[in-house]
Structure 1
Amino acid sequence: MINLKRIHHVAYRCKDAKQTVDWYKEMLNMELTVAIAENEVPSTKAPDPYMHIFLDAGMGNVLAFFEIPNSPDMGRDENTPTWVQHIALEVEDIDALVAAKEYLQSKDVDVLGPVNHGVFKSIYFFDPNGHRLELAANTGTKEQFQELKRVAPLMIEEWSQTKRAPRHAAWLHEQD
């Protein structure tokens, strides 16, 4: 049996490592903790220079990026809507979420939300690489999260058979 400790890091591609480091520092106060660069990929031995940067997302969480200049320009999966693939980061509370929105807007970042998801509220925006980011503040009670955990397996089973949204947790978006 595998016993996971936590996510070590999640890695995405970036257009420019320095621009990415600077943006995440200025906009989200994330510190650069590690930079690794090689001219050959360690795992495959492919001759492909890269810069791999690691940013502190708080509480031991790490968001990493690769700049790979010898590859074609970055794109995205055109078959996946832009709202699906995103990086969600948690803030302390609603006040912090509202303050983050105001701060980002003061830096000319286009921000959507807050959007009420029943047990948390979120704002959404894009980084300079085109990655969608979400800042979320939990608002749910212990009992609400327990109920969501209880119905999750039932919802997965129903979804797998019908491919239609089960109603077990519809209350999340029926309140405002």
Structure 2
Amino acid sequence: MAINFDEDTASVKSPSKLAHVVLRTNNFDKMVSYYKEFLGAESIYQNDFLAFLTYDEEHHRIAIAAVPGTQGKITASCGLEHISFSFDSLSDLLLSYRQRKRKGISPLWPVNHGPTTSIYYRDPDGNMIETQVDNYENPDDATAFMKSKYFSENPIGTDFDPEDYIKRLTAGEPEADLLKRVEIGSRSLPDFMMV
């Protein structure tokens, strides 16, 4: 079937996937080392100022570029808030948390947003990274939760302790029970996000 490139449509054709993120840095070696450890990634190509890293079938998911004249991150400026990486299960999310912890990579914020259970980190440049697992098997159920009064009251989420979750899973508690968000009422942005 031929594509009509002149057809008038209500919306633009969506991409098939998000391919990669490129991070500009003035801290090249530290950033490359961090992302290799954080993601269990390898360099597909690397020189003195560019690194292309992957951890799956894509030729690169993260690229890091050392650009002369790059200034340090200004936290209060506009820009990308965070990038997010998904895991298939809560156990996998918590395993990666524990493995990072052993490597000295500490989380910034563990939170159950409702649609996802997430653990946030900061890289050496101050960029935020979210690692997450979907709390619902069906995206329509996650969307329904996001349209609920609970999400309207608290779109931020409820904090949790990853070590407590590991203990509870090890004791035999089902993942599905831990993925249900504990409702705490209204909540504002966490302090570390405020300027």
State the TM-score, normalizing by the size of structure 1.
0.66
Contact 1:57 1:63 in 2 (8 A): no
C-alpha distance in 2, partners of 1:168/1:98?
25
Paired-residue identity, %: 20
**Where do 1:79-98 residues align within 5 Å?**
79=77, 85-98=81-94
Amino acid at match of 2:89: D
Question: CA 1:56/1:112 → structure 2, altered by over 3 Å: closer, same or farther?
Answer: same
Structure 2 unaligned spans of 5+: 1-11, 159-180, 183-195
C-alpha distance in 1, partners of 2:137/2:87?
16
Q: SS state of the match for residue 7, structure 1?
A: coil
C-alpha distance in 1, partners of 2:121/2:14?
34
1:17 match: 28
Q: For each residue in 1:23-60, what CA deviation from the matched residue of structure 2 results, as whole angstroms up to 9, or x when unmatched?
A: 222232012123477xxxxxxxxxxxxx2322114353
Q: SS state of the match for residue 56, structure 2?
A: coil
Count of aligned pairs: 145
Post-superposition offset of 1:77: 4.6
The answer to whether structure 1 residue 26 and structure 2 residue 37 are counterparts is: yes
Q: SS state of the match for residue 18, structure 1?
A: helix
| 1:108 counterpart (104, 109, 116) | 104
Question: CA 1:76/1:58 → structure 2, altered by over 3 Å: closer, same or farther?
Answer: farther
1:147 match: 144
Contact 2:32 2:64 in 1 (8 A): no
Contact 2:73 2:125 in 1 (8 A): no
Q: For each residue in 1:58-107, what CA deviation from the matched residue of structure 2 results, as whole angstroms up to 9, or x when unmatched?
A: 35361122111x204322252459xx711111122111111222222222
| 1:122 counterpart (89, 102, 118) | 118
Q: For each residue in 1:88-130, what CA deviation from the matched residue of structure 2 results, as whole angstroms up to 9, or x when unmatched?
A: 1112211111122222222222213431111210111111121
Amino acid at match of 2:74: R
Post-superposition offset of 1:137: 1.0
Contact 2:115 2:136 in 1 (8 A): yes
Amino acid at match of 2:64: F
1:74 match: 72
> Over the residues paired in the alignment, what is the CA RMSD in angstroms?
3.1
Structure 1 unaligned spans of 5+: 38-50, 152-165
State the TM-score, normalizing by the size of structure 2.
0.60
1:58 match: 56
